Amino acid sequence: MKHILLAAAFLLTAVLNAGGTWDAEKAYEQANDLDRALLKIRHEHTGKDTPQNDLAAKALKLLGTNSSPEDKGKIYSTVAAIYSENGWTGQDAADESAKYCELALKYPLDPETAARLYHHWGSDLDMGNRDNHIKGADFIALRRKISDLYLRGLKLVLANLTATQYEYPGVGKIDCPSTSPSCQKIIKEHYAQMKESFRSRYQNKLLDRRKELTQSIVDLYARMPYDQNEFKKRLDASISDKSIKTEMQEDLAKIIDTREKFLRTAASSPNQPRSKAKPPIKKKMRRAPPQTQQQ
């Protein structure tokens, strides 16, 4: 039962993309060998010393016998996850992660996974920006590209988010092999509990993605050269939720104002010993590696 429950996490794709609700019982029944094989590969990733290329090759080999659009989405998103585990291990890993994020997003994915990949893809590009010290017009163009990826992810999240926070029930294991009516009732109730638990966990993951993406978009525009007008225009073009847009604009304005006050204070005291302190900036959220979804 455990491996079926683990594999069921992959099966949100088609139902959610079609705008329906996830049928947990159907998901359990459809759990297949590919889901279990990908989970096994993911579990082989034990830390920064894990040979990422070897694990990626194992996952890609599964394309030989799994060629449906849904299967390709699962495989490519798993490879992107492999290169993103425990943060980046270098520019090469970031480049590979970006490559497979882009590939995976061409295929059917559930909204939370797609939003996570959009964020990782943008973060991969941003790593190259920081390493190469891109400035001026080149940085402005790259910022637009990265923020576009983040905004696509945020738009997906907001379209599928139904609550501010879910409390999900704990669901234990059952052992009821009998076909008696009483046992069948227990099994049916257990499926209903699992379904509600997965739905609640999924919504909470969407909330995590919303926080991650909004903070990353604000962080991009909190870097010089500032452009609050462009920031507002891009939000207006992508996001309809006024409260989210207002919150993000206020957050950005506060960061810029705090930084400018610090710089003005430093400039007005030229004869004072130069402080080693840096102007306060919003701490960039370290991207979370894609998680193995499990119960």
Residue 281 lies in a domain: no
Residue 95 lies in a domain: yes
Residue 274 CA to residue 271 CA, distance in Å, equals 8
Q: What is the mean pLDDT of the chain?
A: 80
Q: Which of 17-26, 200-209, 253-262 has the highest mean pLDDT?
A: 253-262
Residue 177, domain extent: 2-267
Note the pLDDT of residue 12: 41
Report residue 224 as tokens. 């010089």
Q: Which of 210, 131, 128, 123 is nearest to 163 (CA)?
A: 210
Are 287 and 80 in contact by the 8 Å Cβ rule? The answer is no
| pLDDT tens-digit map of 105-142 | 999 998 999 999 999 999 999 987 776 788 899 999 99
Where is pLDDT greater, at 118 or 19?
118
Residue 295 lies in a domain: no
Residue 207 reports pLDDT greater than 70: yes
- pTM of the entire structure? 0.77
Where is pLDDT greater, at 287 or 292?
287
DSSP alpha helix (H) spans, 222-241: 228-238
Residue 290 lies in a domain: no
Least confident of 92-106, 167-181, 224-238: 167-181
CB crowding 246-267: b at 16 or more within 10 Å, else e: eebbebbeebbeebeebeeeee
Residue 32 lies in a domain: yes
Least confident of 62-71, 146-155, 187-196: 187-196
Note the pLDDT of residue 18: 34
| pLDDT tens-digit map of 175-194 | 776 677 777 777 777 677 77
Residue 292 lies in a domain: no
Main-chain dihedrals φ then ψ at residue 158, nearest 5 degrees: -65, -30
Residue 256 confidence class, pLDDT cut points 50, 70, 90:
very high
Q: Give the total number of structural domains in the chain.
A: 1
Q: What is the largest CA-CA distance in the chain?
A: 88
One-letter amino acid at 143 equals R
Where is pLDDT greater, at 79 or 278?
79
Angle between helices 181-221 and 228-238 (to 10 degrees): 150
Q: Which of 27-41, 42-56, 84-98, 103-117 has the highest mean pLDDT?
A: 103-117
Note the pLDDT of residue 202: 84
Note the pLDDT of residue 245: 97
Give the mean pLDDT of 88-98: 81
Residue 293 reports pLDDT greater than 70: no
Q: Find tokens 């006050």 and name the residue.
A: 261
Note the pLDDT of residue 200: 79
Residues of the chain with pLDDT > 70: what percent? 73
Note the pLDDT of residue 188: 75
Q: Which of 12, 45, 47 is nearest to 31 (CA)?
A: 12
Residue 273 lies in a domain: no
Residue 278 lies in a domain: no
Residue 21 reports pLDDT greater than 90: no
Are 228 and 252 in contact by the 8 Å Cβ rule? The answer is yes
Give the mean pLDDT of 53-69: 95
